Structure 1
Amino acid sequence: MSDNELFREIDGEPMIAPKGMSLLLGVPLTDILAESARHNGQQWTLPAEWIKSGIRRSKEYQAATGRSDMHGALEYWAAREAK
């Protein structure tokens, strides 16, 4: 999986793509796309259960690697989900 499927840099800042959100949060890509479509491309707040799942996955990534960076987490979860 290439980085551009997971995030893009816009004005020098990393912006997470839907697939990247799916990996970081542990939420199916179809759910993220449906929620985004429901808000017609406007800014929206992540559901509380998605945030909890993302925190849980962040802690798991940190415990497994000793790292806390987004790019590393994307790589970690992409590799785990490819198995």
Structure 2
Amino acid sequence: MHAHKVRVSISKSRELLVRVPDDFPEGDAELILIADALSSASGAARAARFRRALEELRARLPVSPELSDGAFDRGLLYERGSGDE
């Protein structure tokens, strides 16, 4: 397998011309493009979708009961953690 890595810049026209070294074999090849960062517009859209998905998930969760500090028996906590087992 031969590999050739080159940094490129994608313009607004979305056209890309890739020149490979002379010793690169002819024939079929696979080209994988990996962007360094999302554009701010697509990043904002993804963030908005993520927030909506989180809100939908939160809306489906059951309401948790509110417990006061008095609802906990602190004596049991200290008793279990005392090492006298």
TM-score normalized by the length of structure 2: 0.29
Higher helix share: 1
Higher strand share: 1
Q: Bigger relative contact order, structure 1 or 2, given CA contacts below 8 A and separation 6+?
A: 1
